[in-house]
Amino acid sequence: MKNFDYLDTPKALLTPDIVAMLTSIHEHKGKQGLFVEAHADALTTLMEIAKIQSTGASNRIEGINTTDKRLEELVRDKSAPKNRTEQEIVGYRDVLATIHESYDYIHPRPNIILQLHKQLYSFSRSGVGGAYKNADNYIAQTDVDGKQTVRFQPVPAYLTADAMDRLCVAFVEGLDKDQYDALLLIPMFVLDFLCIHPFNDGNGRMSRLLTLLLFYRAGYIVGKYISLEKLIENSKDTYYEALQDSSAAWHENENDYLPFIRYYLGILQKAYGEFENRVEYLGQRGLSKPKRVKAIIDNKLGKITKAEILQAVPDISQVTVERTLAALVKSGHIVKIGAGRTTAYGKTDSSQQGF
């Protein structure tokens, strides 16, 4: 039987690289409050965009897709869901909103997790929401020939409720003891949750929602403004590799949490880096939109892609960015490099004078 140890196991996880990552994230957190206070109004835009990106990315990871237009309509609650796919999307939207608004009052307990799962499926008639799995499940992988093999066998259905009870008790005890950084314990909890795989459906999405909840409760609220789910989607292969590496020998209590911890701390570091960059660009909101795009290019060393620009200024439309890039190319300020998906832009010699 798996032993959930949040009192002794973390000690061995404080490797030099993990300590360095924790220190870096603590420094980012120290700036977080100042940024939020100084740009409270402007950050509302980032929050709205992050909600759309988070809802879309977390569902796409599980193969639940819709168009960008429908996704925005559903997340902004401007349209009712029309099919099962959209029902699952708006369910995620609502759980995300609940966590954003009430994370301080949502405790990591089995009954709370069941309630969140019920809300995730509140628009669905499948009947799976709010109940643990009633049949054994497994995590499979498919090779290039389409052959499926079992990669991991989670906790059996009949032991799931007990495992979730013990996991939550151990995790809360670890937090209450305050011996180790919450940033160390949270990825451990998420890994253990995924290895239990307590639901018939929705385990991956619930794991990401619980990640946000626990980070918020620990004071790391960057996920409100930068979509952690989107960052995970963008590094999905690395995510699954870390999950596989950390789940090996899990049932025997011999698994190594480090790959999964390292991955999640890396995601948090990247989120804070993007957050601080976007806040910097928000400070230029007094400039016209074309001038803001030009400022981003001028401050970028080397090449920059249209996608990178759109990510830096999510409140500026793609059409405006494309028009500005075309104008800058025409004026000789930048040069277009490559074509198609590999297209990038670089500053010309004349534009770099004075740097």
User: Can you give the pTM of this predicted structure?
Assistant: 0.82
Closest by CA position to 83, among listed 125, 38, 28, 36: 125
Q: How far apart are CA 277 and CA 271, in angstroms?
A: 10
Q: Check: CB of residue 17 under 8 Å from CB of residue 262.
A: yes
Residue range 245-296, pLDDT digits in tens: 999 999 999 999 999 999 999 999 999 998 888 777 766 656 788 888 888 8
For residue 49, give every residue at least 6 positions away whose Cβ sits within 8 Å of its Cβ, in sequence order, or none: 314, 315
Same fold, 9-281 and 288-352: no
**In terms of DSSP bridges, do strands 334-337 and 344-347 run parallel, antiparallel, or are they unpaired?**
antiparallel
d(CA 214, CA 229): 14
Low-confidence spans in the chain with pLDDT less than 70:
38-42, 142-144, 282-286, 349-355
Q: How far apart are CA 170 and CA 3, in angstroms?
A: 9
pLDDT in tens, 4-31: 999 999 999 999 999 999 999 999 998 8
Pick from 337, 339, 311, 338: nearest CA to 347:
337
Contact in structure between 160 and 166 (CB atoms under 8 Å): no
According to CATH, the topology of domain 9-281 is Fic-like fold (1.10.3290)
Cβ atoms of 220 and 269 closer than 8 Å? no
Specify the DSSP class assigned to residue 250.
T
288-352: CATH architecture? Orthogonal Bundle (1.10)
Domain residue limits, the chain: 9-281, 288-352
Q: Which stretch of DSSP H or E encloses residue 54?
A: helix 40-61
